[in-house]
Structure 1
Amino acid sequence: MEIESIILALAALAQGTRLEVFRLLVAAEPEGLPAGEVARRLAVPHNTMSSHLSILSRAGLVRSERFSRSIVYRADLAALRSVLAFLLKDCCGGRPEICAPLLAELNPCCPPKAMSDV
């Protein structure tokens, strides 16, 4: 990701409602949520939610797909990974022990199943 894209993504997330929208959409992966449902769950007027979703879309953090009269939004997890990787890339400066506590915090609460578990 280019630095301009990172700045755009971080700016989009630097607003409370948009951050909550993004967190909600991450939790709703992989199905996503219709725009109206996002607005309802966060108690935000539809026109305001449309604006927030548009900003997140332009920042590359969410993608949308139309199904009949409904638009379903999904978090773009690859974009999230790119932003996090950018922020962490030079974190350690060659000293992994510096970042070990941070990396431990990033370990998901529900790690993916190993292929042998499937």
Structure 2
Amino acid sequence: MDKNTATSIFESLSSGVRLDIYRLLVKAGPFGLVAGEIATALELPPTNLSFHLKAMTHAALLSVTQEGRFQRYRANLPLMQDLIVYLTEECCSGHCFSEAPEPGCCGTETDSDQIP
């Protein structure tokens, strides 16, 4: 992932409505939801929802498939995982900021790193 892609994702999620949509679709899992189900769950008018779904699809946060006269939306989880890796790939630069860091974080040893 590059900085421009990460910035595009953050810009798309900077709206509270879009963040709610993304979280709802993450919760729905791989089956996703059709636009009407999203509108009902979040109590959004269809025109408002359509605007947000289009922006999120353009940012690749969502995938959409046509099912008859409905469109089914799914969260792009691999993209979000790539974003997390991008954000944490240089975690702490070897400096711990926590009193109890997770094993393997910030240069701490994991069980597999220890010599028996």
TM-score by length of 1: 0.79
Identical columns (%): 32
SS at match of 1:93: helix
Larger radius of gyration: 2
- One-letter amino acid matched to 1:84: I
Which range moved further: 62-71 or 84-93? 84-93
Runs (4+) of structure 1 exceeding 6 A deviation are: none
Look up the match of 2:15. Answer: 15
Look up the match of 1:36. Answer: 36
Look up the match of 2:83. Answer: 83
Look up the match of 2:108. Answer: none
| TM-superposed deviation, 1:63 | 0.4
| Structure 1 residues 40-59: aligned runs within 5 Å | 40-59=40-59
SS at match of 2:6: helix
- One-letter amino acid matched to 1:42: L
Q: Report the number of matched residues.
A: 102
Gaps of 5+ in 1: 105-118
| TM-superposed deviation, 1:91 | 2.0
Deviations 1:24-78 (A, max 9, x none): 0000011000011101110111011011011111111110000101100000000
**Separation in 2, partners of 1:84, 1:55:** 21
TM-score by length of 2: 0.81
Deviations 1:92-115 (A, max 9, x none): 2034x44736x99xxxxxxxxxxx
Look up the match of 2:64. Answer: 64
